[in-house]
Structures are given as C-alpha cells and as structure tokens.
Amino acid sequence: MVRIEVADGDDVDALVDLWVSLVDGQRPYGAHLFAAANRDRVREFLANFVATGSVVVARDARVVGFVMFRIESGAYEQDVTRGFVDNVFVRPERRGEGIGSDLLAAAEDALAERGADVAALSVLVDNEAAQRLYERRGYRPHRITMERPLESDTSSRED
C-alpha cells in the first residue's frame, strides 16, 4: 500500500535520484535541463523544499514518487495568490496506479492551506500523458511559453 506523506530529510537522497530520472525522462519531450550534471545543485534545492514542508512523497518500501510545490512570489501585485506545482513524478513501473493523482491532490491541498487561490504547473507540450493527468484534475492552459532555436555556441552541448 502506498502512503502519501510530507518528505523529511532522510528522503533527500531518494528524491535526488528520482529528480534525475524525471529530467532524463523529459529529455525526449524537449526539456533543456541536464540530469546528472545538476545532481549536486538539485540536492540543495530539494533539501530546501523538504525543510519547508514543500515536498510530498508516495512510498511503500521505498519512495516511488514525489511532488514539489510553492506559493509563487514576485515583484507584482496580483488578484490571486497562485500556488505552483513543480515536478510531479512517479517511477515508470508504478504509473497508472493513481499515485500521480494522489500526489497532485496532496500538493493542491497543501497550497490551499497556505492561502493559494489557484494552482498552476508547467508541462512540456509533447508530454501528452502528463497533460491528460492534469486535464483530468481540471487544469487548463493559462499561458503558453513559446521558443525558437537560435544559432549559438551551446546549441549542440550534450549531457
């Protein structure tokens, strides 16, 4: 049975490994992040999220998925407090069990408790499975980010 609970400091190593898997899995959809090259940097980032209670994990004998979340802050006053969901991930062999939906619901509940009026997230345009999950949970496009390739010294850099 999978338990959904707030991550603690003992989970950071497992979270880093899952984050690397997440990023590796996003590369075919056009993600620009390097997985292994960011391992050390993401350890600190994840530890900070864990310290603020902003990571929820799904676990049985081990961590099988996670989600990160935060209240968006910025320089501008807005008419809503927006929560942002980052990095919903479930190990590939455990997908289809409802774990991603449970993690997303836990993040939404936590954001609402922290005063968020809306929840937002980003999804790569070619990741149709993730889009279906989010649409089933009531997410709709709000803002579209567009990009185009440019010739540069780094355009062919590999992980």
Measured CA to CA, the distance from residue 99 to residue 57 in angstroms comes to 10
Structure confidence at residue 74 (pLDDT): 84
pLDDT for 75:
84
pTM, two decimals, is: 0.90
Residue linked to tokens 């979270």: 15
Which pLDDT belongs to residue 157? 55
Kindly give, in sequence order, each residue whose CB lies less than 8 Å from that of residue 156, ignoring residues fewer than 6 positions away: none
Token output for 153: 């010294």
Domain CATH for 72: 3.40.630.30
Residue 147 resides in a domain? no
Give the position of tokens 């900070």. Answer: 48
In a domain, 64, yes or no: yes
pLDDT of 34: 95
**Average pLDDT per block of 10 residues along the chain, 159 residues long:** 97 98 95 95 97 98 97 90 96 96 98 97 94 95 92 66
Domain count, the chain: 1
The pLDDT value given to residue 158: 55
Q: Is residue 154, in this structure, part of any structural domain at all?
A: no
Cα separations in angstroms, 128 against 89, 90, 123, 133, 135 = 14, 15, 9, 9, 10
